[in-house]
Chain A
């Protein structure tokens, strides 16, 4: 049973456009949602995260929108750059100090 789902599987945008990556989850006990960015051949790196008490988290060009009622969240990357081309993983965890559950990832390509 996949507890964290991501869509689309892959996404291509032009430089300067806004990329929107979607994530949904099933377990209502999840209350912390980190997003990771992974470049080919490297380990994932924490990009931005949000807790369920908030509905929005912004960090520069990266913004998470969170809808607790629908159990959905999205990562918006504004003014996309070729250097943003990477795979983005949405993850979810609960309060019990458990490691997060990861989605299958969205591979983003930004064309110059």
Chain B
């Protein structure tokens, strides 16, 4: 069975500080990986997707970047956080039309 792990569980960060969020999937070879952002009470906004190591496509940047250093790892980062970055970040894998989500990382930017 596939498992998806996200770290950290939650973060409180200052405006202007850097950020790195991680996602690891086990039990699935060469998955499509996705990053989503969700405002409190909001819909799911896809940010990035990757179909292979080293290749990442941007959907909506929001002053964020993503990388896929390993087949099972997806990283979301920024050098300078904005207040608008607060929210719930979700990593997902899927064959394409179906998404399987991780537990998420709650981010609060003050």
Task: Report the contact-size class of chain B (Cβ under 8 Å from the partner).
Answer: 20 to 34
From B96, which residue of chain A is reached at the shortest CB distance?
A97
Q: Does A66 sit within 8 A of B, measured CB to CB?
A: no
* Size bin of chain A's contact surface: 20 to 34
Complex CA gap A97/B95 in Å reads 7
Contact in complex: A89, B44 (CB < 8 Å): yes
- Cβ-defined contact, A43 with B90, below 8 A: yes
Q: Is the CB of B104 within 8 A of A99?
A: no
| Residues from chain A with Cβ under 8 Å of B32 in the complex | 97, 99
Known: A41-B106, A46-B98, A49-B98. A99 touches B46 (CB 8 A): yes
How far, in whole Å, are A105 and B94 apart by their CA atoms in the complex?
21
Closest Cβ neighbor of A44 among chain B residues? B101
Which B94-108 residues sit within 8 Å CB-CB of chain A?
94-104, 106
A25 part of interface (Cβ distance < 8 Å): no
Q: Is the CB of A46 within 8 A of B97?
A: no
The answer on a CB contact under 8 Å between A93 and B97 is: yes
25 contacts between A and B (CB under 8 A): A32-B97, A32-B98, A34-B97, A34-B99, A36-B99, A41-B104, A41-B106, A42-B103, A43-B90, A43-B92, A43-B101, A43-B102, A44-B44, A46-B98, A93-B96, A98-B96, A99-B32, A99-B46, A99-B49, A99-B97, A100-B97, A102-B44, A103-B43, A105-B42, A105-B43
Identify the A interface with B (CB < 8 A): 32, 34, 36, 41-46, 49, 89, 91, 93-94, 96-100, 102-105, 107
